[in-house]
Chains A and B, each alone.
Chain A
Amino acid sequence: MAFQIVINLIIAIMWMFLGESYTTPSFIAGYLFGILILYLLRRLIPGKFYFSRVISIIKLVLLFIKELVLSNIAMIKYIYSPKQIAEPGVFALPLDVKSDWEITLLTSLISLTPGTLSVALSDDNSKLFIHAMNIDDVNESIYDIKNSFEKAIMEVTR
């Protein structure tokens, strides 16, 4: 990935020299042009095309914002309901992601999504204990976390 970024920067600088204009816009134009060249030659260059990873990072950020808004709506429902409608509880989530960096990202995502708050991590990094606002739909939230968050994180890191 680093190799591809270096090639992309070299193409951008070459574009500036060929155009004889040493300004920021021409650098950006060269950089975009470099992305196009890397995309067309992606079979000949070792490693995955790096810009697909940038796209998956953008997707992850958008997913995060969407979940944050949804969780606030759910939170307001819990706060202003006259009786306590929620039944809190703690459940364990088996983790597929392994490295520290991925787990940190996943816990932050979980803490800001509807009705879940990460409490602790087991010693061997295999289970995450989550406090849920409504324990009755635990299976649903496990399914959500497994399918949307872990998948999105793995797309970024692998």
Chain B
Amino acid sequence: MTETEILFHIIVNILIILSILIGSFLILSASIGIVRFPDIYTKLHAATKASTLGLAGVLIAAFMFLYIQHDIVSGKLLLAILFMFITNPVSAHMISRAAHKKGIKPVIKNRKDAYEQYKENIKTN
């Protein structure tokens, strides 16, 4: 290998390590958030946001590793990232909507829940 190739390998390896570290840290944070937050809506905040970027980081690291070690361009990993970006917010929306329809109240101090008011208005009319 020439010197530039070795340098390129080192830089890509550093990038792989960084994105795996950031990704797994974000997933860890998401799980801590799920334990710590008080109600289902705030738990969902942690579960959707942090885990989306965390998984994307791990998958990008896997993509770079396969490319640099085995010369494989793995389109499946990129597709997985794309589908996660599409499906994660939708599933979060459906879970929170189902929870609200079931009557689970969000933890709110001294303020009104706008959706609760809307549902009551519909019932009375």
Chain A contact residues, CB within 8 Å of chain B: 68-69, 71-72, 75-76, 78-80, 84, 86-92, 104, 107-112, 115, 117-120, 122-123, 127, 129, 131, 133, 135
Nearest-CB residue, chain A, relative to B111: A89
Contacts of B1 in A (CB 8 A): none
Is residue B46 contacting chain A, with contact meaning CB distance below 8 A? yes
B93 and A111 within 8 A (CB): yes
B100 and A119 within 8 A (CB): yes
Given contact pairs A117-B44, A118-B92, A118-B96, enumerate 17 new A-B contacts (beta carbons under 8 Å).
A79-B36, A86-B42, A90-B106, A90-B115, A92-B118, A108-B89, A110-B89, A111-B89, A111-B93, A112-B48, A112-B89, A117-B45, A117-B93, A119-B96, A123-B122, A129-B115, A131-B41
| Interface pairs A-B: 5 shortest CB-CB | A111-B89, A129-B115, A108-B89, A79-B33, A92-B114
Q: Which of A72, A76, A90 has the most CB of B within 10 A?
A: A90
How far apart sit A117 and B44, CA to CA, in the bound complex (Å)? 8
**A72-B50, A76-B29, A107-B93 known; A92+B44 contact, CB < 8 A:** no
6 contacts between A and B (CB under 8 A): A72-B49, A79-B36, A92-B114, A118-B92, A120-B115, A123-B122
Would you give the 0/1 interface string for B14-29, flagging 1 where the beta carbon is closer than 8 Å to chain A? 0000000000001001
A78 and B33 within 8 A (CB): yes
